[in-house]
Structure 1
Amino acid sequence: MRLYGVTGWKNAGKTGLMERLVTEITKRGLTVSTVKHAHHTFDVDHPGKDSYRHRHAGASEVIMSSRNRVAHMIELRGAGEPTLDDLLARLAPVDLVLVEGYKRDCHPKIEAYRAETGNPLIAHDDSTVRAVASDTPLTLDRPVFDLNDTVAVADFILAEVGLARAAE
């Protein structure tokens, strides 16, 4: 399974870029899965729902299934956050996995960058950042793309992971 990351600081445009990349790459006939890291507590179900009630009763894992989707929730209950590799091992095979976040992991990444946030570029100190998608012109030792040029960013990522021909 090929892996490529989208990294950047908060409000840099990561999620929007991820969404556009998934649309663009799947439109080319490739299969894509995503993994997103959250720095905060989150919940995918809500109080009163059966799955929520199962988890709060003490279930270690809850799987909800319908004809449209399956959700698998695992309560860590102090076991520690799984690594990116642990999560990737759970995914069904696809052509490409796009990872949002996990900026300290060693997979190749493109950095989403918006000047207005005032944050420094991660690319300056991180060789795993192979390119930057920016809302402002930058002079770097690696490719810089317009943050909104999804086609160019997708072309770059697919070439990087060896899928450019598969998408033709």
Structure 2
Amino acid sequence: MRVIGLAGWSGAGKTTLLTRLIPELTRRGVSVSTVKHAHHGFDLDKPGKDSYEHRQAGAHEVLISSERRWALMHELRGEPEAQLPDLLLRLSPVDLVIIEGFKREPHLKIEVHRAANGKPPLHPGDPMIVAIACDSAFPEAGCPVVDLDDIAAIAEIVLSCAEPLTAILARVQQQG
């Protein structure tokens, strides 16, 4: 598996870009999975559903299965947040994993930047950023800068820059 991230401030358009990028990559024959970081507690199921009631009752993990999909929810219950390498190792093998968020983690990333957001760019302080998808110019960026709407060009960058999962695991192990 190869891995690359989309990183940027909230409101920059990471999810929108990802939902446009996945069909382009799958059209090219690339199998894609994603990992999304959420900053707050979140629920996939609703009160009244059996899986919700199982979690509320104290289950450590709840696996939901049907003829169309399955999902595994793991309650941390005071444990520390799972680290990105551990999450990546839980995925079934695919050609490409795109990480949305986790902007401070040591994996190669494409910065998603929108000028109207009013937030500073990430790339000056992050050597793991290999390209920038944005709606403004960054002449001093030191890496490729692509328009947010040029999905084909962003797909090319993704495919050329994604790194093997083993490289991320080795980097994390070296750090610590």
With the length of structure 1 as denominator, give the TM-score of the two structures.
Answer: 0.94
| Cα offsets for 1:48-85 (capped at 9, x unmatched) | 00100111111111111011110101111001110001
Task: Measure, in 2, the Cα distance between the counterparts of 1:24 and 1:41.
Answer: 31
Task: Measure, in 2, the Cα distance between the counterparts of 1:137 and 1:42.
Answer: 35
After TM superposition, list the pairs within 5 Å mapping 1:10-159 onto structure 2: 10-139=10-139, 140-159=141-160
Task: Measure, in 2, the Cα distance between the counterparts of 1:41 and 1:162.
Answer: 30
Offset at 1:154? 0.4
Task: Measure, in 1, the Cα distance between the counterparts of 2:127 and 2:76.
Answer: 32
Offset at 1:137? 2.3
User: 5+ residue gaps in structure 1?
Assistant: 164-168
Residue aligned with 2:157, SS:
helix
User: What is residue 173 of structure 2 aligned with on the other side?
Assistant: none
User: What is residue 166 of structure 1 aligned with on the other side?
Assistant: none
Number of equivalent positions: 163
Residue aligned with 1:132, SS:
strand
User: 5+ residue gaps in structure 2?
Assistant: 165-176
Alpha-carbon RMSD: 1.2
Instruction: Tell me if the contact between 2:25 and 2:32 (Cα under 8 Å) persists in the aligned partners.
Output: yes
Offset at 1:5? 0.2
Give runs of ≥4 in structure 1 deviating > 4 Å.
none
Task: Measure, in 2, the Cα distance between the counterparts of 1:103 and 1:62.
Answer: 28
Q: 1:162 to 1:102 in 2, by over 3 A?
A: closer
* Partner amino acid, structure 2, of 1:15: T
Task: Measure, in 1, the Cα distance between the counterparts of 2:93 and 2:153.
Answer: 25
* Partner amino acid, structure 1, of 2:123: A
Q: Percent identity?
A: 53
* Partner amino acid, structure 1, of 2:121: L
With the length of structure 2 as denominator, give the TM-score of the two structures.
Answer: 0.90
| Cα offsets for 1:10-42 (capped at 9, x unmatched) | 100111111111111111111100000011111
